[in-house]
């Protein structure tokens, strides 16, 4: 059986850890060449992931990219294009999740969170769509959150950025379907990541109890959904928000 993404080339942002790492692994297992991008401070993990993928018979490389820098995004596009002259897919995953109620939130946190979570997606979409339009197709997945369709107490700024990603996703889908470009969002809930490592059993129970499936999700379970949406199997799916949430949104 042919792998889902055999011969495809693309990038994942914030891919050295957590969900991005799981996505990169699955995309590589499905036959893609993956440009793993992340901050300089995550270069050790990013390079180790690329080496692991290559050892397992896949194809990957690491590039230092801060998604708040347009120059870095442009370098990511150029590096991906240099592999074979195409960008078949892009996954905009990098994000942070500061915690504070709205009345305790400051302007600095608003600006930083919007820059990393939201403006980065705009920067990346604008640059990637230009390439994909010129080549006549491609597929993009933006990582939102269940907090992109619900409020999240003590994470209002985060929730606002994740709602806005869905608006960008739908608009990008609407503007670019004419040339066979698909743009979708994935909405995770409670996935194992650095953020949750070391959390108490009580905390994990509190975040997984509202789900139909009462456990943490694996990053690779998000990766499987992303791989499907990026693949030609999803050829008539664009502009959607796919929850990968263990049934959280079914009851909340």
Ligand X SMILES: NC(=O)c1ccc[n+]([C@@H]2O[C@H](COP(=O)([O-])OP(=O)(O)OC[C@H]3O[C@@H](n4cnc5c(N)ncnc54)[C@H](O)[C@@H]3O)[C@@H](O)[C@H]2O)c1
Residues with active-site annotation: 158
Q: Which stretch binds ligand X (CB under 6 A): 88-96, 100-108, 124-132, 198-206?
A: 88-96
Tokens 């470009």 — which residue? 181
Encoding tokens for residue 183? 């743009």
Pick out residues in 134-153 that bind ligand X (CB under 6 A).
Answer: 143, 145
Q: Which stretch binds ligand X (CB under 6 A): 1-9, 94-102, 131-139, 176-184?
A: 94-102
Torsion (CA) 98, 100, 103, 104 in degrees, nearest 10: -90
Q: How far is the CB of 154 from ligand X (least distance, A)?
A: 14
Decide whether 84 or 199 has the Cβ nearer to ligand X: 199
Encoding tokens for residue 87? 């960008």
Tell me: does residue 95 bind ligand X (CB under 6 A): yes
Decide whether 39 or 53 has the Cβ nearer to ligand X: 39
Measuring CA to CA, how many Å separate 117 from each of 14, 92, 222, 252? 11, 9, 18, 24
DSSP 216: P
Decide whether 152 or 237 has the Cβ nearer to ligand X: 152
Q: How far is the CB of 188 from ligand X (least distance, A)?
A: 4
- Give the one residue of 59, 68, 150, 208 binding ligand X; rule: CB under 6 A: 68
Measuring CA to CA, how many Å separate 164 from each of 33, 139, 144, 193? 29, 19, 9, 23
Pick out residues in 5-64 that bind ligand X (CB under 6 A).
Answer: 13-14, 16-20, 38-39, 42
Tell me: does residue 79 bind ligand X (CB under 6 A): no
CB atoms within 10 A of CB 106: 11
- Helix, strand, coil percentages (3-state) for the chain, rounded to 5, are 50, 15, 30
The site for ligand X (CB under 6 A) is made up of: 13-14, 16-20, 38-39, 42, 65-68, 93-97, 116, 143, 145, 188-191, 193-195
């Amino acid at each position: 059986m042919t792998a889902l993404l055999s011969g495809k080339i693309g990038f994942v942002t914030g891919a050295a850890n957590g969900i991005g790492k799981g996505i990169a692994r699955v995309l590589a297992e499905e036959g893609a060449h993956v440009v793993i991008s992340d901050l300089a401070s995550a270069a050790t993990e990013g390079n180790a992931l690329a080496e692991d993928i290559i050892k397992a018979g896949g194809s990957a490389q690491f590039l230092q990219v801060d998604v708040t820098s347009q120059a870095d995004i442009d370098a990511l596009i150029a590096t991906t294009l240099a592999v074979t002259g195409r960008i078949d897919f892009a996954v905009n995953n990098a994000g942070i999740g500061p915690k504070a109620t709205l009345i305790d939130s400051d302007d600095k946190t608003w600006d930083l969170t919007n820059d990393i979570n939201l403006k980065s997606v705009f920067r990346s979409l604008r640059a990637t769509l230009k390439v994909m339009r010129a080549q006549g197709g491609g597929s993009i997945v933006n990582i939102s959150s269940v907090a992109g369709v619900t409020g999240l107490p003590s994470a209002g700024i985060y929730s606002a950025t994740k709602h806005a990603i869905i608006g960008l996703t739908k608009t990008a889908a609407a503007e670019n379907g004419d040339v066979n470009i698909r743009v979708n969002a994935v909405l995770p809930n409670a996935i194992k990541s650095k953020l949750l490592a070391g959390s108490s059993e009580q905390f994990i129970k509190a975040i997984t109890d509202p789900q139909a499936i009462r456990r943490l999700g694996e990053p690779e379970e998000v990766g499987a959904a992303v791989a499907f949406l990026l693949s030609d199997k999803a050829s008539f799916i664009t502009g959607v928000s796919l929850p990968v949430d263990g049934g959280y949104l079914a009851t909340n």
